[in-house]
């Protein structure tokens, strides 16, 4: 793939954690969407589990989960702006008796599709693994999604590349016990960089930041190029919006 000259502006939000506070998450999202729209972004990524919080206890997760075909989900979407960048937004999804760690893709208030996390941690036993790897488009750029732990598996990114996408979007939620957070603080980007070098994909990640009890989150929220190098990154210790320009590539 070679750059064709034009660029598309993309964005990723590094956010506080909203724990079972959908109203708070939506209010925060509206502000960030407005900022991204004003900056001219065509795509905006939010972290993993952003809407309801990264809930893995069965009762809490089931209570918070949303069926994407329900009026409750329609009500949530109705609180988002009518226009703006294409959104990748992490949430807990219900379909029948199964729960999924999902990233939905929205254009305005319209659901375009979803990606369900395929590779699950032992602590995510409440979720069923996803099976599909759809590819989407925003601003002329094809993109696919890997959620957080997915990026540890080369096959997950390769499925995106095999469909002709040029961008891997990674909603993440690295709110971890402090000792684990410290051990992984400088390892997230190198792992994602390996996927970039293997596939030729660029990678845009969005993560949470802050503290909750004995847990801490620093991100990173960053854009990596096809060589796995960090092109742009937010500071690790505060919420913010990363806005950057991605080359538009030709597969010819």
CA distances from 170 to 88, 121, 178, 201, 251 (A): 9, 16, 22, 12, 23
Give domain 2-250's CATH number out of 1.20.1530.20, 3.40.47.10, 3.40.50.300, 3.60.110.10: 3.60.110.10
Question: Coil, strand, or helix at residue 71?
Answer: helix
Do 46 and 90 contact (CB within 8 A), yes or no?
A: yes
Do 172 and 205 contact (CB within 8 A), yes or no?
A: yes
- Res 4: pLDDT: 55
For 153-208, how does the pLDDT look when each residue is reduced to its tens digit (9 = 90+)? 999 999 999 999 999 999 999 999 999 999 999 999 999 999 999 999 999 999 99
Which residue is it, tokens 């809490």?
60
What is the distance between the alpha carbons of residues 97 and 167, in angstroms, rounded to a whole number? 33
Give the number of other CB atoms < 10 A from CB of residue 97. Answer: 7
- Res 2: pLDDT: 53
- 49: region left, alpha or beta (phi > 0 left; psi from -120 to 50 alpha): left
What is the distance between the alpha carbons of residues 233 and 190, in angstroms, rounded to a whole number? 13
Question: Coil, strand, or helix at residue 102?
Answer: strand
For 33-70, how does the pLDDT look when each residue is reduced to its tens digit (9 = 90+)? 999 999 999 999 999 999 999 999 999 999 999 999 99
């Amino acid at each position: 793939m070679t750059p064709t000259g034009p660029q598309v502006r993309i964005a990723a939000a590094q956010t506080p954690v909203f724990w079972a506070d959908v109203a708070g998450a939506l209010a925060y999202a509206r502000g960030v969407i407005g900022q991204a729209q004003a900056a001219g972004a065509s795509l905006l990524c939010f972290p993993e589990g952003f809407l309801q919080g990264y809930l893995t206890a069965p009762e809490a997760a089931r209570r918070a989960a949303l069926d994407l075909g329900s009026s409750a989900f329609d009500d949530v979407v109705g609180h988002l702006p009518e226009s703006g960048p294409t959104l990748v937004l992490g949430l807990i999804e219900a379909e029948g008796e199964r729960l999924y760690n999902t990233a939905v893709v929205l254009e305005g208030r319209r659901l375009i599709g979803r990606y369900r996390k395929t590779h699950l941690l032992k602590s995510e036993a409440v979720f069923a693994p996803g099976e599909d790897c759809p590819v989407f488009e925003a601003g002329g750029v094809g993109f696919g999604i890997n959620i957080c732990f997915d990026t540890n598996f080369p096959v997950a990114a390769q499925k995106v590349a095999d469909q002709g996408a040029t961008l891997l979007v990674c909603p993440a939620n690295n709110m971890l016990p402090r000792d684990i957070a410290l051990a992984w603080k400088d390892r997230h980007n190198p792992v994602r960089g390996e996927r970039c070098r293997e596939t030729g994909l660029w990678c845009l990640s969005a993560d949470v930041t802050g503290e909750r009890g004995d847990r801490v989150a620093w991100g990173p929220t960053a854009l990596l190029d096809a060589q796995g190098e960090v092109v742009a990154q937010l500071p690790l210790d505060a919420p913010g919006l990363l806005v950057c320009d991605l080359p538009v590539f030709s597969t010819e």
